[in-house]
């Protein structure tokens, strides 16, 4: 799951600019200065945040602004950062919840589809997930637990990581019953691929599908989709709304404890 990505791009006409100063969190040395559009930054730095600037991924560990409150009132913000692959502090977690990535059978040979391979980190697995509407009670119970973790910030505002991460129990989850061919036809899928794990093995019966706007992935059995998720999410658009309506589903953004239908 991409926690947050920012691309240092050309100026956007009539947009508010923010001067962003990157400082190395350990050496305190100035790294670089950038002028970014405010829409390239989160509204608050209150959770583990990774910024990609000029093809380098930084993890923010501290944010300093010129005035309190919403930092968009300030023309300048100093971000103390480390490289994104820097180890987290002991007993800190990058996400407030995660599903077990190793509960599925793996194989060292590509199965199903070969147009492309979708690589997922452990903390990205099934974080933006579709479920049958009949599972709503169990989903609400789980999001309530996750909300407690999200809303219990430490002295660093959770920037250094969450104090706990809830492991979602998927045994209650009712499997989907969507025919893969029907889904691909309905969504006008452009490419069909597989899922590759961090150890370079593939998930058996795993699939990834590229549409105009999203990459879908999940697990199939005998031609039917049993689990379905997407790699990233901003808002419910026409494409996602069509899926929810056609297949009678709800959409869950687990890391924000948000249920959308």
One domain, residues 122 and 39? no
> Same domain, yes or no, for 160 and 60?
no
What does pTM read for this prediction?
0.81
Q: Are residues 174 and 232 part of one domain? A: yes
Q: Is residue 108 part of a domain?
A: yes
Co-location of 149 and 254 in the same domain: yes
Query: Which pLDDT score is estimated for 29?
Result: 94
Q: In angstroms, what CA-CA distances link 253 with 42, 73, 215?
A: 17, 29, 15
Assess whether 32 and 130 both reside in one domain: no
In terms of domains, do 107 and 61 share one? Answer: no
pLDDT tier at 198 (50, 70, 90 boundaries)? Answer: confident
Residue 128: name the closest of 246, 244, 251, 212 by CA: 251
For the chain, the first-to-last Cα distance in angstroms comes to: 21
d(CA 223, CA 225): 7
> Residue 21: pLDDT band by 50, 70, 90 thresholds?
very high
Count how many domains the chain has.
2
Distance CA 56, CA 62 (A): 18
75 and 107 fall within a common domain: no
Could you tell me whether strands 49-53 and 56-65 are parallel, antiparallel, or unpaired per DSSP bridges? antiparallel
Residues 6+ apart with CB under 8 A from 70: 43, 44
Within-domain flag for 5? no
Same domain, 75 and 130: no
CA 201 – CA 221 distance, rounded (Å): 19
- Residue 11 forms part of a structural domain: no
> Residue 62: in which H helix or E strand, if any?
strand 56-65
Residue 152 is given by DSSP the state -
Does 56 share its domain with 153? no
What's the domain range around 79?
Answer: 17-83
Q: How far is CA 9 from the centre of its chain?
A: 22
Looking at the fold, whether 48 and 102 belong to one and the same domain comes out as no
Cβ neighbours of 27 (radius 10 Å) = 9
Report pLDDT for 100. 81
- Three-state DSSP at 45 gives coil
pLDDT class of 180 with cuts at 50, 70, 90: very high
- Contact by Cβ (8 Å): 95, 123: yes
211, 187 in Cβ contact below 8 A? Answer: yes
In a domain, 127, yes or no: yes
- Say if 9 falls within a structural domain: no
Q: Which residue has the tokens 């979708």?
A: 118
């Amino acid at each position: 799951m991409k926690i947050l990505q920012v691309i240092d791009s050309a100026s956007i006409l009539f947009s508010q600019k923010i001067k962003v100063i990157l400082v190395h969190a350990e050496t305190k040395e100035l790294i670089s200065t950038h002028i970014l559009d405010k829409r390239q930054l989160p509204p608050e730095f209150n959770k583990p945040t990774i910024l990609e600037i000029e093809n380098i991924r930084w993890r923010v560990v501290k944010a300093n602004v010129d005035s309190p409150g919403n930092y968009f009132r300030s023309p300048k913000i100093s971000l103390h950062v480390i490289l994104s692959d820097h180890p987290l502090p002991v007993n800190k977690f990058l996400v407030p919840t995660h599903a077990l990535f190793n509960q599925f059978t793996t194989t060292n040979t590509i199965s199903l589809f070969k147009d492309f391979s979708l690589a997922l980190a452990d903390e990205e697995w099934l974080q933006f997930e579709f479920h049958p509407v009949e599972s709503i009670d169990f989903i609400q119970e789980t999001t309530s637990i996750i909300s407690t973790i999200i809303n219990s910030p430490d002295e660093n505002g959770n920037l250094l990581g969450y104090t706990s991460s809830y492991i979602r129990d998927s045994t209650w989850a009712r499997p989907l019953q969507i025919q893969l061919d029907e889904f691909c036809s309905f969504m006008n899928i452009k490419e069909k691929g597989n899922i590759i794990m961090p150890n370079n093995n593939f998930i058996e019966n795993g699939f990834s599908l590229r549409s105009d706007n999203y990459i879908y992935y999940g697990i199939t059995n005998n031609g039917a989709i049993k689990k379905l998720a997407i790699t990233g999410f901003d808002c419910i658009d026409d494409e996602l709304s069509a899926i929810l309506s056609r297949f009678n589903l709800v959409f869950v953004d687990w890391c924000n404890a948000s249920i959308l239908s």
